[in-house]
């Protein structure tokens, strides 16, 4: 069953995820300065994916404010942002 997002709930979730994405990207940026070679390349790729999810979350958040976001878009943006945060946090714990 597909979840139906209420605008305020979706907005709250996306704002929280956007903040988490900012935090984890800041941490990754700090740690990246100490890396080189393959480890730096892997972290750079994870950061690119996370930045893409952050940008998409921001776009969908704007759409929510304008009243033009669809449930399908909200669900995908939220899932992608959650995955990106989780993936980058896990990567930072394991590799850096």
Q: Alpha-carbon distance 10 to 20, whole Å?
A: 15
Q: Where in the chain are the domains? A: 7-95
How does pLDDT run across 42-67, given as a tens digit for each residue?
999 999 999 999 999 999 888 888 88
Does pTM top 0.85 for this prediction?
no
How does pLDDT run across 78-87, given as a tens digit for each residue?
999 999 999 9
State the CATH class of domain 7-95: mainly alpha
Confidence of residue 1 (pLDDT cuts 50, 70, 90): very low
Both tokens assigned to 54: 């952050």
69: phi then psi, degrees, rounded to nearest 5 = -90, 140
């Amino acid at each position: 069953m597909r979840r139906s997002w209420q605008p305020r709930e979706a907005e709250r979730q996306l704002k929280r995820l956007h903040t988490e994405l900012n935090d984890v990207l800041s941490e990754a940026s700090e740690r990246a300065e100490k890396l080189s070679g393959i480890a730096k390349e892997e972290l750079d790729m994870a950061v690119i994916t996370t930045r893409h999810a952050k940008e998409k979350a921001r776009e969908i958040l704007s759409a929510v404010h304008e009243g033009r976001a669809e449930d399908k878009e909200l669900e995908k943006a939220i899932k992608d942002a959650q995955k990106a945060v989780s993936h980058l946090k896990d990567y930072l714990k394991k590799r850096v």
